[in-house]
Chains A and B, each alone.
Chain A
Amino acid sequence: MAVDRASLDVHRGEVFTLLGPSGCGKTTTLRLVAGLERPDGGEITLRGRVVASVSRRIFVQPNHRNLGMVFQSYAIWPHMTVFDNVAYPLSLRGLARAAIRERVARVLDLVGLAGLEMRAATMLSGGQMQRLALCRALVYEPDLLLLDEPFSNLDAKLREQMRLELKLLQRRLGITVLFVTHDQIEALSLSDRIAVMQRGRVEQVGPPRSLYERPESAFVRDFVGSTVILRGRVSALEPGRVSVALDGALGGRTVAGRSISTAALVTGAEVHVAIRPEDIEVDGARADGAALPGVIDALLFVGDRYETRVSLGGEQRIVLLLPRSREWKEGQPVSLAFPPDTVSVWPV
């Protein structure tokens, strides 16, 4: 079973994203909505109309759902011109030829493909094909636009550009979008809300920021963004705050943070301390008191910043990004402060 007990609501006019590793069931969910797969349980409703319901024996064929979809491969029909590709859905809807021509021109103009109408669809570049696929999906004003990893076949620079274009277009047209991706940057930057999926289940639904800053499960915490994790035991419990005595090479040091609401902790329990690397305050000086000591192990200059690996003693190493505004050296001792507001404590 690819998808199990996934219950989701997409609001009109929003970009809703299914995010998860490959094989998590996000594409299957999208194809269920599109009508390309048949559910063996549950119900799907589009704008108040039930399009699939197992208990009521309803299944609306994909061509009767009035959806738009951009495929990962774009699925541009190679035997048609640019114009024919976009006109196809309109001709299926019985529009007059003049109306078709006018609408196709308008939608091509919207994405900057005007003037390419008569070009063979196979003679387009990757970015143009993607825009054409988008035109074909938008031209008949679908109730919902489905995007299946639409950026994965583009190179990095084009991907960033198309991401921005899509966001602007969506805002302008006010279309509702269901977007599937495994790329957290795409998900975070494009979405109004994100559902993180794993093994066919929805782990957490929420706006990008809350997902990033307040993950509710270890999976969401580790999948969205990167996380530094230290091991330890609870040494003191106060309302809203937990102090953790660290293990291993950091033994004797204490870090404080907020506890995850979902689980009750007791003093002495084994826990994980988690923090986003960018929340760690790094100072190029020897550690004192509350801060943890570390040594820069490896230093990579990547242009706008440094990527470093910092050893915390023993086998414990973490990867951090350091600003270019200061000088860093390999072998340099540093102090790492963990602001308690940004630290979360998780039961093991």
Chain B
Amino acid sequence: MARVGAPLAAPIAARPAWRLDSEAVVGTGVLAVVAFGVVYPVLLVVLQSFQTALPGQPAVYGLDGWRAALAEPALRSSLWNTLTVTFVRQLLSLPLAVFIAWLLARTDLPARRWIEFAFWAAFFLPPLTVTLSWILLLDPEYGLINTSLAALPFLGKGPFNIYSFWGIVWVHLITGSLTVKVILLTPAFRNMNASFEEASRVVGAGTLRTALRITVPVMAPVILSVLLLGTMVSLQTFEVEQVLGTPFRFFVFSTTIYDLLVTRVPRYDAATALSVLVLAAMLPLILAQQWLTRGRRYTTVTGQFQNKPHALGAWRWPALGVAAAVVSVVLGAPVVFALLGTFMKLFGFFHVPEPWTLDNWRTVLGDELFARSLRNTVVLAVGTAVTAVFLHSLIAYIAVRTRYAGRRLLDFVSWLPFTVPGVILGLALLWFFLGTPLLRPLYGTTAVLIVAGLISGMPLGVQIIKSGLLQLGGELEEASRIAGATWWTTYRRIVLRLMAPTLMAVGMITFVGAARNIANIALLSTTANRPLAILQLDYIAQKKLEEAVVIASIIMLISLAGALAAYLLGVRGNVG
């Protein structure tokens, strides 16, 4: 028998059986930690909704909170407002997003890579910054668009008012609804097998007919899944309504809950009862979303089919015009006017004599408060990003790659933070930290805010890593095991190397999310651990808009840098 070389070391003897169950031990450990951090706060919220006594008094259980949530006109109207805002947002954004995604992925639109990146960057803009920018443009009295239009002879007064239902819908379209759909749909459209479309073209259908009759129906499950995700996100927005709705007494779920909590006599029962309603509305959406994505086959896209884009012909330039207009609204205007706003003596007043100044920057940068908040933000964002990459990848790995019995449950639990309105999650974590003796010393430290960021970033982080792992193909790891590597060596030398770009991108996304997070930590943060995002909210509450917009711009620049880094690392909305 011919030999390739000398015989290798003798085989290693069988290990005792307990070693096999390291998978179950680690799996159960992670599930326990995640359930403790996610399920326990949710249970606290549910329990609290039946607790009617005032804070500090002995607990009394009753249905008053529920009665209020269901019967009081103010709370009922907030329910109605949430539904109408959500519905109108989705109705307007979905067709436009599908159209743009199709343009970017399936046609020869000029500069489509740049436009795709613009949407990716716009997705990272902090909603509060965008809101402030559009106030500059659409404020009923001094908004730039309104004052320009008022100068026209046939209009006495500017026609737009941002402090209105449609103003809120408009800002929402810009901050979330449209961009998130475009960045999720574009890669999905790009990965579609082109032969479906080519078959349609061959039998005689034109580009438009093919798009409407073939592409969109084939993509229907993905579109529906993105619509569900969008609905979930829009059920819990907070900042936009807080800034634009409060002046004209327009409340949605999240702002009502916040309002009930920050008044002099907080009504925890009614606030939590409302939260339970949101949670109940979210659960079926999550189950539907999981059901939709479960059947889908993830396979590495190979060069097996040619993805030749449709020629738009004469429509190239009009299509580019539409896309460029949308980009200038979602990215251009917010960035330009947020930066412009930082140099104004009086935020929003372009027509005062000598409107420009550098004082705002001087004031903010020279402020001791700012230095401390910046330090807190950096610690918070870096800490969250590093722990998130570790925890979220572990969850994703267990859910996808092991046969641990509780992996489905773990997957589901990692979605739960999506169901809880950010404000309420913050409140639940507040109780969680104050009510657990062992954790009480942590209150007031940045660690508390990191936990909030970890939990709120969990659904997205786990999803991105999961889809990356699924595309990796299990045989690459199995080949390493067969070649003689342990689980740990395989993880280090194969999985981590191949997943490095995805993990770094998740780190970037979490970094940005933590840097701009408001809803989750508004109730949790104290003066000691207050980050920039909350400092900005405090400035707005004190009507110091000039300082607020400087901080908003700084957060925006951090976010855009993170967006660029994540994009260059190659994650472009690759979410289930």
Partners in one complex: yes
Would you list which residues of chain B between 1 and 43 have a CB under 8 Å from chain A?
1-5, 7-9, 11-12, 14-15, 17, 19-20
Q: Is the CB of A62 within 8 A of B482?
A: yes
Q: Which partner residue on chain B sits nearest A102 by CB separation?
A: B5
Contacts A60-B14, A66-B11, A75-B478 known; A89 to B484 CB distance under 8 Å? yes
Instruction: Choose one: B12, B483, B497; the contact of A140 (CB below 8 Å).
Output: B483
Q: Which partner residue on chain B sits nearest A142 by CB separation?
A: B482
> Is B479 interfacial (CB-CB < 8 Å)?
yes
> Is A61 interfacial (CB-CB < 8 Å)?
yes
> Is A49 interfacial (CB-CB < 8 Å)?
yes
Q: Is the CB of A72 within 8 A of B480?
A: no
A130-153 CB contact bits vs B (8 Å, 1 = yes)? 000100111111010010000000
| Chain A interface, >50% SS class | mixed
Instruction: Choose one: B5, B11, B485; the contact of A103 (CB below 8 Å).
Output: B5
Instruction: Choose one: A49, A93, A146; the contact of B484 (CB below 8 Å).
Output: A93
Would you list which residues of chain B between 470 and 500 have a CB under 8 Å from chain A?
473, 475-476, 478-487, 489, 493-494, 497-498
Q: Is the CB of B12 within 8 A of A71?
A: no
Instruction: Choose one: B8, B20, B403, B498; the contact of A79 (CB below 8 Å).
Output: B498
Contacts A50-B14, A106-B5 known; A62 to B481 CB distance under 8 Å? yes
Q: Which partner residue on chain A sits nearest B481 by CB separation?
A: A62
Q: Is the CB of A172 within 8 A of B2?
A: yes
Cα–Cα distance between A8 and B485 once the two chains are bound (Å): 27
Would you list which residues of chain B between 326 and 348 have a CB under 8 Å from chain A?
none
Would you list which residues of chain A between 9 and 65 have a CB under 8 Å from chain B?
13, 34-36, 38, 49-51, 57-65
Please give, as numbers and ranges, the residues of chain A lying within 8 Å of B19 by CB-CB distance.
61
Cα–Cα distance between A56 and B317 once the two chains are bound (Å): 73
Q: Which of B1, B2, B5, B483 has the most CB of A within 10 A?
A: B483
Please give, as numbers and ranges, the residues of chain B lying within 8 Å of A64 by CB-CB distance.
11-12, 14-15, 484
Please give, as numbers and ranges, the residues of chain A lying within 8 Å of B482 by CB-CB distance.
34, 36, 62-63, 65, 67-69, 137, 146
Q: Is the CB of B475 within 8 A of A71?
A: yes
Instruction: Choose one: B1, B4, B15, B487; the contact of A139 (CB below 8 Å).
Output: B4
Q: Is the CB of A75 within 8 A of B476?
A: yes
Least CB distance, A102 to chain B, in whole angstroms: 8
Instruction: Choose one: B20, B479, B484; the contact of A71 (CB below 8 Å).
Output: B479
Q: Is the CB of B484 within 8 A of A141?
A: no
Please give, as numbers and ranges, the residues of chain A lying within 8 Å of B486 by CB-CB distance.
61, 63
Q: Which partner residue on chain B sits nearest A88 by CB separation?
A: B483
> Is A92 interfacial (CB-CB < 8 Å)?
yes
Please give, as numbers and ranges, the residues of chain B lying within 8 Å of A60 by CB-CB distance.
14-15
15 further A-B contacts with Cβ under 8 Å, apart from A49-B14, A99-B5, are: A36-B478, A61-B487, A64-B11, A65-B11, A75-B475, A75-B476, A77-B480, A88-B485, A88-B493, A92-B483, A103-B5, A106-B5, A136-B483, A139-B4, A141-B8
Which A residues are within 8 Å of any B CB, using their own CB? 13, 34-36, 38, 49-51, 57-69, 71-73, 75, 77-79, 88-89, 92-94, 99, 102-103, 106-107, 110, 133, 136-141, 143, 146, 172-174
Name 6 interchain pairs, CB-CB below 8 A, sorted by A.
A49-B14, A64-B14, A65-B11, A68-B482, A102-B5, A140-B484
Give 5 nearest A-B pairs by CB, closest first.
Answer: A174-B1, A89-B483, A75-B475, A75-B479, A62-B481
Which B residues are within 8 Å of any A CB, using their own CB? 1-5, 7-9, 11-12, 14-15, 17, 19-20, 403, 473, 475-476, 478-487, 489, 493-494, 497-498
